[in-house]
Structure 1
Amino acid sequence: MIPNSLTDSPIIAFTILLTVIFTVPPIFERLRLPGLVGLLIAGVVLGQNGLKLLDSESDTVKLLSDIGKIYLMFVAGLEIDLEQFRKTRNRSIGFGSLTFIVPMIAGILVGRIFNFGWNASVLIGSLLASHTLLAYPIVSRLGVVTNEAVTVTIGATIFTDTGALLVLAICVGIHGGEFSALSLATLLGGLAIYSVVVLFGFDWAGKEFFRRSGDEQSNQFLFILLALFLASVGAQVIGVEKIVGAFLAGLAVNDVLGRSPVKEKVEFIGSVLFIPCFFVDMGLLINIPAFIKTLSSIWLTLAIVVALIGSKFIAAFLAKLFYRYNTMEFLTMWSLSLPQVAATLAATLVAYQTVNPAGERLISEGVLNSVIVLMLVTAILGPVITARFASALQLTPTDIGTDSLTTWWDYETQQVEQQDPFTVVVPIYNPQTQRFLIEMAALLARHESGRIVPLAITKAHIHMDDPQLVTALEQNQKRLNLAREISQEFDVEVSPAIRIDDDAALGISRTSREQNSSLIVMGWSRTTGLRARLFGSVIDSVFWSSHCPVAVTRLLSSPTTIRKILVPVGDLTRQTIGAVRFAQILADVNQAEVVLLHVCDRKIPQTLVEKFASQWTDIVAKSQLQVSTNIQAIRGDDVARVIIQEAKAFDLVVLRSVRYRTAGGLAVSQVTTQVIKELKCSIVLLGEPNS
């Protein structure tokens, strides 16, 4: 046992927290349990009912947990897709109202049945009314995000979370002491004015600051953090809980950040440090004897869980009737709205810690424990049901048609409209991979009657006559001369370029913009470790900042020798269709064969598998290229393992780059990552602009 004098040390407490965050979630994820569950259990083990190494009342834990709590709500606001909300605003508000009001009523009934006061009962109802899009990565991976039922559910999040936090603010105000119609009107009026100031003021200030600061990501990052804490402090000043301000700040800077690298860094810091600290603190608050007592008299917990699941089901069913969705869409909406994590847990902790002058908590320990059980049940149940039913949602050809293919490889429409020549920018640095890169770019450019721009980036120095700069420029000129020689073998126009820049990634993106390039072809970067996770690799930065598609290649042999190309297809989105177009163009150059591999769940009906294959057959048939393209469907539980096994017979695998992230800001492992690590053949990883 560590002496009390040591456990009181902030440094030791912080070290223990870091150790837990670093080690526990991966262990639980290997057991196929959410990492958040591991953090909660770690809090219980390390708290006053266990090893007593951490104290929820210590200043260190309080600070980190408070930051984690507001960060969680901030990220929840950041990750609401406003673009999707605008597309289906009316239906999103309609379903949002249903999936807010029905659980709200159910929660109030549960509270009254178990003899809670009206204020506490309404608060319990609001805890059930919100939802967390924990299963968003699943629908994104399945490629059904553009299905209207999914879009409506995503858009409804903004309504449910905002409504739940407003109810929380009112309930906390009522519980705090004397309350009247005048004080309620004052609170609501102040909240309305404050919301307008934050939503519009921060949005305007953010856009102005980002416009003026250009590429200064460090200052932009600090601006976003300042906006978060200013909004949280402002909420407290007007008498509203700080998580309300944090959520509004997330909504306010949502458009400002878009999909920029700064957003990635903001979410990364939260997901690896502050948000996990909040979940550990939740575990510290769990009193084991009280928790066991709650579960032994299981009726309250059971009532809350059943009320949530049943009311969300009823809300989704009503939406099905009103908007004429089919059964699979209705069940997908239900499962997406089930998980109760971000807003629910943050609001529960706030309510539990709210004590009136008489010393009474707003909600009891039994409700706190029941909500934690609810979180565990829905966090597991929701994604499982989503994976089961969302896989049956297939986009119709009409849906695909409305999502127009604007990428360069959709050459059938581009040939008429495109005025500038097809241009491929090829950043070169490594002489060992330079030849294959130039060959790949030349093959594509020659097919499209375009040109290539070999690009050498030279690191800037303060003085332009610095000897190191002169040497670097001479080396880059030699690389460009070699690139010119290789290009001449393919009889393609070459325009070599040297750029002096402080940032290699931005140098590549800026040059490609200046050259109005159609594609960037890059070599593989082996940048790994903490620095790459914090600041991103050059590839990450180019993906974020480029205006055109990026093809990152790991070529083990000359592209001219490629005869068999494998393209895994899991959805019907334009990104996947773009990857197929890329493979077809490369195959047309080499008279190669393209195989589209669809790995489907064993439970999916054969009719749906056949329908998916027929849709791809129609898409392939629209191509003007006379390329042998076959579609192969394989049933399997481990998608990555099937792709790796099938790829052994191919020269090249074409993958697309997609980032998945949950509403808590916690990264989700990708099939692509495992495939890239284990493939033994050449790879092309395609990224859309801002991907």
Structure 2
Amino acid sequence: MLDFLPDGPLIEFTILLLVSLTIPPIFERLRLPGLVGLLVAGIILGDNGLQLLSPDSETIDLLSDVGKIYLMFVAGLEIDLAEFRKTKNRSMGFGFATFAFPIITGTLVGQLFGFDWVASVLIGSLIASHTLLGFPIVNRLGISSNEPITVTVGATIFTDIAALLVLAICIAIDAGEFSPLMLALQLGALALYAVLILFGVDWAGKAYFRRTGDEESNQFLFVLLVLFLAAVGAQLINVDQIVGAFLVGLAVNDVVGHSPVEEKVEFVGSTLFIPFFFVGMGLLLDVPVFIETVTQNFAFPLIMIGGLFVSKFLASYISKLLYGYSWDETLTMWSLSLPQVAATLAAALAGVNAGIIPQEVFNTVIVLMLVTSIIGPTLTERFGRNLPLTTTGLETGGDWQWWEQVEASSEKEHTPNLEQRQAQEFTVVVPIYNPLTERYLIEMAALLANHEAGKIVPLVITKAHVHMDEPDLSISLRESEQLLEKAAAYSQEFKVKATPLLRIDDDIAEGITRTAREQDSSLILMGWSESVTGLRSRLFGSLIDNVIWSSHCPVVITRLLDEPINLHRILVPVKNLSVTAVRAIRFAQLFADTHQASVTYLHVCDPRTDKEQIQIFEQEIRQVLEQPELNVSYRIKTVPHDKTAKVLLRASRSFDLIVLRSLRRRTAGGLAVSDVTTEVMDSLACSFILFGEPHS
């Protein structure tokens, strides 16, 4: 370490924070994965560079271990079990193929280069799993719900679990004298451990979450405790920690869902511990040995890379033959299954620490990661843009209203019948907490409710106190009553049926969503808060986040710079035609019809999308817009561009209102990607609506 810097864990922790903050954005601007930058930073700061950090430091060792455990936990947590269940048979089929071909190939390569059988099998397992680095790309292209994509995502469960099981068995065999009895005992212990984690954690988690209700901090700590207990338990049965971490991720998946707790868990991991792990990997890399492996012993990494590409292609080709996929679908599946990051790096490190594989193999894994993390996403973009965009499968006529909960499945869509729709009165719950925005909110709610012959429920939530006779509570109640009096006056002015409500609740977000459920509301209409995109909201969640997550109905968040009736030019970005996207489209239609506004539907597509695909997608939008009861002037515009946010911001200058959707996406492995919606909202100069779906 440099002489002018004091020794100690605080300095090491500060350096890690600085690297995690500054390096990934620099590499992403160079169109390289941020994790590559973290590895490079580790090399530069380690023994072969500036010597600011040492891999032998207890602090680095602890943080790197925590990051490794967190990486595999997040990999399990981010797998969409709902999508997996839809295509589980095909996912298992492709998962088996994309695991079996690489492990056989890797084992043969290991034998070819003189490794023993345990090391050879472990080498094969290292290339058998995959990390979905390309998923943000297919999501951006609007093809994430296509069957080949969901099959590939689901296959991740099989490949990661199988690779980790092989790792566990190899470590167990290497730790003692091999015998059939020992292997049977180890497999039995592993099976018992897996059942205990998958079913025990799921049961305990759901029971604890039911008991604690909205205590998100305790739920967050519960998840962390279970994670590290499982890691310790894995060590007790002579299994690597990452096996337990991944299984806990799968077990907790159903418990936390897409909740604020999941947001907090993944935010902490992707911001702190996972970057520390990649820096630690860079510290462990022996640069002279790495150079020797790449230059003098280049045959081994070259054959490993070739074997990986060929074996993964064979698995995809088998799926093409079995399931009838097109070549573009097949090649997209192949490219998605190429990147070797999360499970591969964690397992390689475990193998090196156990003494099963040498530094040469570890260096080859680093080369694999660098090559596949660049080529894989590049190929995904190349082949993915030829796939058809996701569509709803919904009937495109006027058989269902946009606010109704239409349950989508891969096989069929359920549409409420006419009697059910007539029985539900269109109801808009309008939470009010800012006198400056109250009038515009009531006016917009009135436009919607009058159009649908419904009513509005102006709602004021007063935060509860421990003692109901406290003076502060009395003052808050008087202020709330004044807000409701104004809401009632505005409702009369706009000639809308209104039922003002005052509620005392210990949680504002839950008070809103509980009232909406009690009123059987069709929509919650809220005002925008500037704190939604800040650091505090990312750590602790915002009011809007929590309302969207816990609501039973759509949530519309507005920032209105003019009276709603004056918003005549409406812009609606259309990325794909999923069920949630169609609801946002039809909401914009309804709002436009309330005061004869016009709507422009803007589709920003990949610059290399062919004209035929664009025409097909535009025709599908027109089919969705066929609403005989609505007479709305609209146009559809497609702009080929690779910077969606830039196009939207430029286009928004010519409109009074833009309707955006609330979506959150991450990369598998925990490295966050920028959200277009957030980027656009931060710079918009016009009014906007954020259309949020429950559990989005």
- TM-score normalized by structure 1? 0.95
**Superposed displacement of residue 396, structure 1:** 7.4
Match of 2:363 in 1: 369
Residue 627 of structure 1 pairs with residue 621 of structure 2 = no
What amino acid is aligned across from residue 318 of structure 1 in structure 2? I
**Superposed displacement of residue 398, structure 1:** 7.5
Mapped contact 1:425–1:453 kept (Cα < 8 A):
yes
Q: Deviations over 1:314-347 (max 9, x none)?
A: 1111100111011121111111111111111110
Mapped contact 1:409–1:581 kept (Cα < 8 A):
no
**Superposed displacement of residue 401, structure 1:** 5.2
SS at match of 1:556: coil
Alignment map for 1:31-430 (pairs within 5 Å): 31-297=30-296, 298-355=298-355, 362-394=356-388, 399-400=393-394, 407-408=402-403, 416-418=419-421, 419-430=423-434
**Superposed displacement of residue 623, structure 1:** 5.3
Q: Deviations over 1:478-529 (max 9, x none)?
A: 1111111112122111111122223222222222122221111111111154
**Superposed displacement of residue 666, structure 1:** 2.1
What amino acid is aligned across from residue 593 of structure 1 in structure 2? S
SS at match of 2:127: helix
Which segment is superposed worse, 111-120 or 327-336? 111-120
Mapped contact 1:436–1:555 kept (Cα < 8 A):
yes
Residue 467 of structure 1 pairs with residue 471 of structure 2 = yes
**Superposed displacement of residue 400, structure 1:** 4.3
**Superposed displacement of residue 195, structure 1:** 0.9
**Superposed displacement of residue 416, structure 1:** 4.0
Mapped contact 2:389–2:617 kept (Cα < 8 A):
no
Q: Deviations over 1:371-407 (max 9, x none)?
A: 11211222222222222322332257674459x9785
Mapped contact 2:146–2:390 kept (Cα < 8 A):
no
Alignment map for 1:573-584 (pairs within 5 Å): 573-584=578-589
What amino acid is aligned across from residue 683 of structure 1 in structure 2? F
Match of 1:452 in 2: 456
**Superposed displacement of residue 422, structure 1:** 1.1
Match of 2:412 in 1: none
Match of 1:359 in 2: none
What amino acid is aligned across from residue 331 of structure 1 in structure 2? L
**Superposed displacement of residue 80, structure 1:** 1.4
- Judged with a 3 Å threshold, the aligned counterparts in structure 2 of structure 1 residues 217 and 300 are, in CA distance, closer, same or farther, namely same
**Superposed displacement of residue 47, structure 1:** 0.8
**Superposed displacement of residue 637, structure 1:** 2.1
**Superposed displacement of residue 299, structure 1:** 2.1
CA distance in 2, matches of 1:135, 1:400: 28
Mapped contact 1:437–1:521 kept (Cα < 8 A):
yes
CA distance in 2, matches of 1:372, 1:635: 36
- TM-score normalized by structure 2? 0.95
Q: Deviations over 1:251-274 (max 9, x none)?
A: 111111111111111111111111
Match of 1:358 in 2: none
Mapped contact 1:446–1:490 kept (Cα < 8 A):
no
Alignment map for 1:542-553 (pairs within 5 Å): 542-553=547-558
CA distance in 1, matches of 2:476, 2:611: 59
- Judged with a 3 Å threshold, the aligned counterparts in structure 2 of structure 1 residues 345 and 653 are, in CA distance, closer, same or farther, namely same
**Superposed displacement of residue 11, structure 1:** 1.6
What amino acid is aligned across from residue 473 of structure 2 in structure 1? L
Sequence identity of aligned pairs in percent?
Answer: 59
What amino acid is aligned across from residue 526 of structure 2 in structure 1? M
- Judged with a 3 Å threshold, the aligned counterparts in structure 2 of structure 1 residues 247 and 567 are, in CA distance, closer, same or farther, namely same
- Judged with a 3 Å threshold, the aligned counterparts in structure 2 of structure 1 residues 396 and 60 are, in CA distance, closer, same or farther, namely closer
CA distance in 2, matches of 1:623, 1:263: 42
Mapped contact 2:505–2:511 kept (Cα < 8 A):
yes
CA distance in 2, matches of 1:409, 1:525: 26
Mapped contact 2:457–2:498 kept (Cα < 8 A):
yes
CA distance in 1, matches of 2:141, 2:608: 15
Q: Structure 2, unaligned stretches of length 5 or more? A: 407-414
Q: Deviations over 1:537-563 (max 9, x none)?
A: 111111221111111111111110121
- Judged with a 3 Å threshold, the aligned counterparts in structure 2 of structure 1 residues 327 and 451 are, in CA distance, closer, same or farther, namely same
- Judged with a 3 Å threshold, the aligned counterparts in structure 2 of structure 1 residues 591 and 310 are, in CA distance, closer, same or farther, namely same
Which of 557, 566, 591 pairs up with 1:586?
591
Match of 1:639 in 2: 644
SS at match of 2:473: helix
**Superposed displacement of residue 93, structure 1:** 0.8
Q: Deviations over 1:638-663 (max 9, x none)?
A: 11111222222111111111100111
SS at match of 1:197: helix
CA distance in 2, matches of 1:56, 1:416: 68
SS at match of 2:688: strand
Which of 564, 573, 577 pairs up with 1:572?
577
What amino acid is aligned across from residue 499 of structure 1 in structure 2? R
SS at match of 1:678: coil
What amino acid is aligned across from residue 656 of structure 1 in structure 2? R
- Judged with a 3 Å threshold, the aligned counterparts in structure 2 of structure 1 residues 623 and 132 are, in CA distance, closer, same or farther, namely farther
What amino acid is aligned across from residue 465 of structure 1 in structure 2? D
Match of 2:411 in 1: none
Which of 658, 682, 686 pairs up with 2:687?
682
Equivalent residue pairs, number: 683
Match of 2:567 in 1: 562
CA distance in 1, matches of 2:515, 2:695: 17
Mapped contact 2:105–2:311 kept (Cα < 8 A):
yes
CA distance in 2, matches of 1:326, 1:377: 26
Mapped contact 1:521–1:550 kept (Cα < 8 A):
yes
SS at match of 2:55: coil
CA distance in 1, matches of 2:18, 2:649: 34
CA distance in 1, matches of 2:386, 2:677: 22
Q: Deviations over 1:559-598 (max 9, x none)?
A: 1012111111111101111111011001111111111111
**Superposed displacement of residue 689, structure 1:** 0.2
Mapped contact 1:647–1:653 kept (Cα < 8 A):
yes
**Superposed displacement of residue 4, structure 1:** 9.7
SS at match of 2:653: helix
CA distance in 2, matches of 1:422, 1:129: 53
- Judged with a 3 Å threshold, the aligned counterparts in structure 2 of structure 1 residues 413 and 142 are, in CA distance, closer, same or farther, namely farther
Mapped contact 1:340–1:379 kept (Cα < 8 A):
yes
- Judged with a 3 Å threshold, the aligned counterparts in structure 2 of structure 1 residues 625 and 483 are, in CA distance, closer, same or farther, namely same
**Superposed displacement of residue 603, structure 1:** 1.0
Mapped contact 1:400–1:572 kept (Cα < 8 A):
no
Which of 490, 512, 526 pairs up with 2:494?
490
Mapped contact 2:392–2:578 kept (Cα < 8 A):
no
